[in-house]
C-alpha cells in the first residue's frame, strides 16, 4: 500500500508560541467534546480515550480536557459541537475530504467554500469523492522517537505480527505508516505499546484507493490550500488522493 496523503491540521510544534498553542488546544477540545457525547468514561469509550491521548501528547492541561468533556456531555450551557465532513475537488482536480467540528454549520460551510474558490476548487456531491477512499486505522511511528533503537525490518515485522494489514515508509525514511482494519486499531496499538514501541499518532483515516500523481506546480498550490484550511478553527483533518 502506498503512503496516503493526510494533512494533519494540528501540528506537533515544540516551543509553539501562545497563539499556536491556543489553536492546537482549541482543536483538541472540540475533538474531545464530540467524543464525550458517546460517554464520559474513556475506559468504555475508545473514541474519547484516543482523543484524550492525543491531547496529552500536546501537553494539553488537565483542566482543559475536563472542561471539554463536560461541554460534550452537556454539563455546561455552552453550545454543542458537531462533526461535519465535506467532499470536494481541490487544486488540479484532486479529491479531498475535509473533516470539521463546528458549532455553526452555516458559517463553516461559507468559510470552506471561500477557501475552495480561492484555489479553483469546489464542493462535491455527497459520495462523489468518498468512494475513492477507504477507512483504515493508521499508526505512524517515528524511528527517531524510540527509546531503544529498532531496525526497520524488525519494526515492520512487529507490526505485521501484531495484525497490521500493510506498512509504508515515507520518503524521509524515519516515518513508518502501519495500516490496520478499523476494528483492529486499538488492539494493534496496545500490542505495539506493550512491546515498547512509541508512536507519533494513531487514528482512523481516509486512505485513497488509487493515489494520483500530480505536477509539482499543483503540489505547491495544494500545500498552500491545505495550510489555509488548517488555519480554520473548525477544520480538524484534510485527506487527499495525492500520491505521497
Per the domain annotation, does 45 fall within a domain? yes
The model's pTM: 0.87
* pLDDT for res 172: 66
Q: What is the pLDDT of residue 96?
A: 96
State the sign of the Cα–Cα–Cα–Cα dihedral 145, 192, 199, 40: negative
User: How does strand 166-169 pair with strand 122-123?
Assistant: unpaired
**How does pLDDT run along the chain (244 residues), one tens digit per residue?**
555 677 766 665 545 566 677 888 999 999 999 999 999 999 999 899 989 988 888 889 999 999 999 999 888 877 789 999 999 999 989 999 999 999 999 999 999 999 999 999 999 999 999 999 999 999 988 887 776 777 778 888 888 888 999 988 877 667 889 999 999 998 998 898 888 888 888 888 999 999 888 888 888 999 999 999 999 999 999 999 998 7
Asked if 88 contacts 98 with a C-beta cutoff of 8 angstroms, the reply is yes
- 126 with 217, same domain? yes
Q: Indicate if 126 and 216 belong to the same structural domain.
A: yes
Structural domains of the chain, count: 3
- Could you tell me if 118 and 215 lie in one domain? yes
Q: In this structure, are 42 and 162 located in the same domain?
A: no
Residue 16 sits in a domain whose CATH number is 1.10.10.200
Q: What is the pLDDT, as a whole number, of residue 16?
A: 58
pLDDT of 153 reads 82
Distance, CA of 58 to chain centre = 14
Amino acid at each position: 500500500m502506498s503512503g496516503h496523503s493526510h494533512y494533519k491540521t494540528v501540528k506537533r510544534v515544540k516551543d509553539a508560541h501562545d497563539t499556536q498553542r491556543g489553536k492546537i488546544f482549541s482543536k483538541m477540545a472540540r475533538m474531545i467534546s464530540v467524543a464525550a457525547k458517546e460517554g464520559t468514561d474513556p475506559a468504555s469509550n475508545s473514541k474519547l480515550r484516543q482523543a484524550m491521548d492525543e491531547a496529552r501528547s500536546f501537553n494539553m492541561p488537565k483542566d482543559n480536557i475536563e472542561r471539554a468533556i463536560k461541554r460534550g456531555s452537556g454539563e455546561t450551557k455552552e453550545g454543542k459541537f458537531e462533526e461535519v465532513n465535506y467532499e470536494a475537488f481541490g487544486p488540479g482536480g484532486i479529491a479531498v475530504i475535509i473533516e470539521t467540528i463546528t458549532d455553526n454549520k452555516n458559517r463553516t460551510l461559507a468559510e470552506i467554500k471561500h477557501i475552495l474558490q480561492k484555489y479553483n476548487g469546489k464542493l462535491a456531491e455527497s459520495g462523489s469523492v468518498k468512494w475513492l477512499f477507504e477507512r483504515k486505522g493508521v499508526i505512524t511511528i517515528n524511528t527517531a522517537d524510540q527509546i531503544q533503537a529498532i531496525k526497520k525490518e524488525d519494526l515492520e515485522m512487529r507490526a505485521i505480527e501484531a495484525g497490521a494489514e500493510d506498512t509504508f515508509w515515507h520518503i524521509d525514511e524515519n516515518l513508518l505508516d502501519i495500516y490496520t482494519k478499523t476494528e483492529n486499531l486499538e488492539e494493534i496499538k496496545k500490542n505495539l505499546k506493550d512491546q515498547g514501541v512509541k508512536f507519533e499518532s494513531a487514528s482512523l483515516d481516509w486512505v485513497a484507493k488509487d493515489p494520483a500523481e500530480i505536477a509539482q506546480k499543483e503540489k505547491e498550490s495544494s500545500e498552500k490550500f491545505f495550510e489555509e484550511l488548517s488555519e480554520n478553527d473548525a477544520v480538524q483533518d484534510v485527506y487527499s488522493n495525492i500520491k505521497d
